[in-house]
A and B are shown apart, each in its own frame.
Chain A
């Protein structure tokens, strides 16, 4: 088991290095001109050259890569854990990501938990009545929810629940502009507000999360329902289920056995979905103006802020790899055959 983890981490590190170098060259080979974006319209020749020099863009590509990785003497780089300085805000990319990332993690994690709790029973209903009316309904629902433009559903929810009914707060961030946020400890608003002993802020943070979470739960429920239905139906055709039925066990008990067998192969997909959502939540963050990592990425990309772009891609990919590894470990715990 230990060797397995070490091997996976090593492969992941190689993958991350490959990705870092690939992204580094990719964004510099594309015909964008960050220096002109920085100096604005109609700059003087000198100002433009100076901007290029400040950003290090007048250096050869390999020198730039060395500086970014921290191999040259110019200062600490990625290998020492320094993501560099944002070209737009001039603050360290690492600490910027640290403030944006928890918002996304909070949103995605809560959405995942709820989507999972909602989707597993729905998928089971389908699988337990193969070919029946409810199975068909579950099947079509899974296909439908899995192929929807989530930003549009977010807007619909805003229209119905904010504009028409007035139940939800305006989609303008994770707290109302009048509320001062609790001191940041973990970065998760729900946890920080409780730590600071401000239950009213906690409730307000939850209220602002309801619609974005509902949007994500809806689109996530599609693939999860589809997967639970498939794996559950397969597990129900297995010999041990036939045996359990013959032995006269109550149907609910048999379904529980089958569910456990169906969950193991589902874990991998859940992991992939979670990793995907870290970057994929960007549209929902955008609709509800949540200051998450996706919003940060959009801002960085539109401003040609190379260090920020590289930092975001690297952090999201690294997090996904960690999640995949964690899921595989859980998978191995549920189904010990995998390790062998």
Chain B
């Protein structure tokens, strides 16, 4: 959850940076690719089981000077047990293992909820933009009301009252994000449907529904797709925030926000590692998605 969540519905053209090679695009794509790979194969890379405790409690991460030695030890396979690269938390969980398995939770929540709201929002937005009548106007008003909910508190209410499960978090986020896609798609459809190719398709004898689905929709999809990169990042922030206040996934699920929350009490006593590392993971990931979305948006506007 972040301040820019509020900006998501406001689709503003960005000022292009005059530069041929867009290194930001590659930074964003690199971060996103890393997180996706971790979500796919994280559990096989983790040296420890992320959901069971080890007897070593509150072990600090190795000092910088020890890292080369430990690395070569791991590569030669002559260590008695795998090192705790990022230490262990107060319950004895290996932090490194949990961090690289957590994208499974965080990314799947963000991805699935966004796909749901993207599909629903694009279809409803297409209807609202293409067929403008009483029914679609009423739908827009409902979408306005949903958008006027205080986002974080609404998500908290939905998840806490429906039960703190993965599925309920996904549904809650999908509900909150659908109006953004409705609005974006509707605006784009209204701009596209007055163009010549629509007239041509109509002259060819296509039905209105066919025109809307086959001709207008593909041309009106891009803003929503670009927005989804940004929204996925914010969904990760919201998921982590929900866990932080105790209205998200249940422990011991490996999830970055939950890890930060678990480490928060130790932080004041000087045990910084259990909160700092998962925070860096969230910070980089959401930044990566934001950068990627922004770079794609600028690219789209240049064309």
**A residues lining the B interface (CB < 8 Å):** 15, 18-19, 22-23, 26-27, 30-32, 127, 130-131, 135-136, 139-140, 143-144, 146-152, 155-156, 158-159, 162-163, 170-171, 219-220, 222-223, 227, 229-230, 233-234, 268-269, 272-273, 275-280, 282-283, 286-287, 294, 297-298, 301-302, 304, 309, 312-313, 316-317, 320-321
Contact = CB atoms under 8 A, between A and B. Distances in A.
A301 B160 CA distance: 7
9 contacts: A32-B163, A147-B290, A155-B275, A156-B279, A230-B13, A282-B245, A297-B153, A312-B153, A316-B153
Closest 9 interchain pairs by CB? A279-B150, A276-B6, A152-B279, A30-B161, A146-B4, A32-B161, A147-B290, A233-B15, A147-B286
Given A149-B2, A222-B3, A273-B7, A19 B15 contact: no
B153 A313 contact: yes
Contacts of A26: 157-158
Interface string B1-41: 11111110010111101110000100000000000000000
B100 interface: no
Given A163-B270, A283-B1, A298 B245 contact: yes
Interface in B263-303: 264, 267-270, 272, 275-276, 279, 282-283, 286-287, 289-291, 294
B161 A27 contact: yes
A62 B157 CA distance: 21
A19 B267 contact: no
B267 A147 contact: no
A316 B17 CA distance: 38
A277 to B, nearest CB: 7
A71 to B, nearest CB: 21
B83 interface: no
B79 interface: no
B36 to A, nearest CB: 18
B7 A149 contact: no
B152 A279 contact: yes
Given A27-B161, A151-B244, A155-B264, A143 B145 contact: no
A136 B3 contact: no
Contacts of A19: 145, 148-149
Contacts of B150: 276, 278-280, 313, 316-317, 320
A81 to B, nearest CB: 21
B267 A155 contact: yes
Contacts of B19: 131
Interface stretch (B66-74, B122-130, B187-195, B233-241): B233-241
B239 to A, nearest CB: 10
A294 B17 contact: no
Contacts of B269: 163
B169 to A, nearest CB: 13
| Dominant secondary structure of chain A at its interface with chain B | helix
B1 A143 contact: no
A159 B267 contact: yes
B247 A302 contact: yes
Given A32-B161, A143-B290, A152-B283, A273 B267 contact: no
B18 A156 contact: no
B154 interface: yes
B182 interface: no
A223 B272 CA distance: 29
Given A144-B287, A230-B15, A280-B151, A301 B247 contact: yes
B75 to A, nearest CB: 32
B167 to A, nearest CB: 13
B145 A229 contact: no
Contacts of B268: 158-159, 162-163, 170-171
Given A30-B158, A149-B260, A278-B150, A286 B244 contact: yes
A279 B150 CA distance: 6
Contacts of A162: 268
B156 interface: yes
B248 to A, nearest CB: 12
B148 A136 contact: no
Contacts of B200: none
B6 A15 contact: no
Contacts of A312: 153
Nearest to A34: B161
A159 B156 CA distance: 27
Contacts of B7: 146, 223, 227, 269, 272-273
B148 A320 contact: yes
Nearest to A275: B6
